[in-house]
């Protein structure tokens, strides 16, 4: 009997713990009528404030897509600027409802931090930015270099791995923020700046002489960047995940902010599920039936999000490359909306 009582007590405790973990983020966001989204402390193309003080960028649009789905208004977002060191604590503690901050999906982060990655909104890889005056054309020529790098990142770990594998030495120069790393590079405190190549492109245009720096050809890592949420709330996990998946599917089926109203009359069942005129997908997520329509009409599909923030016609001038749809030679692929 004593053994059975102990088991029963354990089950009660486990149930109580599960109930506390399963507290609804959706209810909190809807009650607050605002989504709290953690973004970077300033990275052009991904999350930065414009001249009017408004947050813009690819990661910012990912937040807005979730707000559009959940609250019907993409502008109902409180953006919380976080450094690389602060980001996971802010998510774990509930300071933010989701993290959308050029964060790499890794085993350690997925399994030990109490967070779930909800997908990849940008496939990247780590590279090196050097001054053209340094006279090098390959990362294999960087033996003994001083390298500016953000601390507490996968970038710092990849840097050590690469130099060890190449049998080269280096001197790390650590900073807390991307602004500090680029300032250190420009001040000559290091020979090289390393980060994700998209970030290097963003940091390069902030230099006083962008033409005096170049990105070396080597890509030394895989960096799947994407939003994350706390573990223990499957409904919220599904909502954030499917907001991104819907944007990718919308591009695949040609649904955009410019034609979504016309697409409401589409007879293609794939399109009608995306815009919410058929199926019961909204209720499965705890959302209105027009959640997909709200995302596309207010934020756009994945291509629109990419092109206006980081594409060839932006200062970053990034091509789709790996981030092209799977039907166009890339690896951007999402499960079907059905």
This prediction's pTM:
0.87
Q: Give 23's pLDDT tier (boundaries 50, 70, 90).
A: low
Q: Give 206's pLDDT tier (boundaries 50, 70, 90).
A: confident
Instruction: Check if the beta carbon of residue 306 is closer than 8 Å to that of residue 225.
Output: no
pLDDT single digits (tens) 133-177: 999 999 999 999 999 999 888 899 999 999 999 999 999 999 988
Residue 165, burial from CB neighbour count under 10 angstroms (0-12, 13-18, 19+)? exposed
Q: Compute how many other C-beta atoms are within 10 angstroms of the C-beta atom of residue 225.
A: 22
Sheet holding 170-175, edge to edge: 170-175, 145-150, 192-196, 126-131, 213-215
Note the pLDDT of residue 13. 37
CA–CA distance, 39 with 44 (Å, rounded to integer): 12
What is the pLDDT of the chain when averaged over all its residues?
Answer: 92
Average pLDDT over residues 50-75: 97
pLDDT single digits (tens) 230-263: 999 999 999 999 999 999 999 999 999 999 999 9
b/e per residue 89-113 (b: at least 16 CB within 10 A): ebbeeeebbbbbbbbbbbeebeeeb
CA–CA distance, 277 with 270 (Å, rounded to integer): 10
pLDDT single digits (tens) 267-294: 999 999 999 999 889 999 999 999 999 9
Give the three-state DSSP class for 206.
Answer: coil
């Amino acid at each position: 009997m004593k053994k059975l009582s102990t088991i029963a007590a354990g089950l009660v405790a486990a149930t109580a713990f599960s109930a506390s973990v399963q507290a609804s983020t959706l209810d909190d966001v809807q009650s607050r009528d605002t989504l709290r989204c953690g973004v970077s402390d300033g990275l052009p193309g991904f999350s930065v404030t414009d001249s009017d003080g408004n947050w813009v960028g690819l990661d910012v649009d990912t937040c807005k897509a979730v707000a559009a789905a959940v609250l019907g208004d993409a502008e109902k977002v409180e953006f919380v600027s976080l450094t690389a060191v602060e980001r996971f604590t802010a998510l774990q503690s509930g300071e933010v409802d989701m993290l959308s901050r050029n964060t790499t999906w890794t085993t350690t982060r997925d399994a030990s931090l109490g967070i779930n990655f909800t997908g990849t909104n940008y496939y990247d890889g780590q590279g090196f930015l050097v001054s053209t005056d340094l006279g090098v054309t390959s990362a294999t020529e960087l033996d003994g270099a001083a390298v500016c790098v953000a601390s507490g990142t996968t970038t710092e770990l990849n840097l050590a791995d690469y130099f060890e594998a190449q049998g080269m030495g280096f001197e790390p120069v650590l900073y807390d923020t991307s602004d500090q790393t680029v300032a250190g590079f420009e001040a000559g405190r290091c020979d090289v700046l390393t980060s994700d190549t998209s970030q290097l492109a963003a940091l390069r245009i902030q230099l006083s002489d962008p033409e005096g720096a170049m990105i070396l050809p080597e890509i030394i890592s895989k960096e799947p960047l994407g939003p994350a949420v706390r573990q223990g709330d499957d409904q919220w996990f599904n909502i954030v995940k499917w907001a991104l998946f819907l944007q990718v599917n919308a591009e695949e089926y040609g649904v955009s902010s410019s034609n979504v109203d016309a697409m409401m009359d589409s007879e293609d069942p794939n399109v009608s599920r995306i815009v919410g005129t058929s199926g019961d997908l909204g209720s499965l997520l705890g959302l209105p039936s027009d959640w997909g329509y709200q995302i596309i009409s207010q934020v756009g599909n994945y291509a629109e999000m990419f092109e206006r923030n980081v594409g060839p016609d932006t200062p970053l001038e990034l091509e789709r490359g790996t981030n092209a749809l799977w039907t166009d030679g890339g690896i951007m692929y999402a499960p079907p909306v059905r």
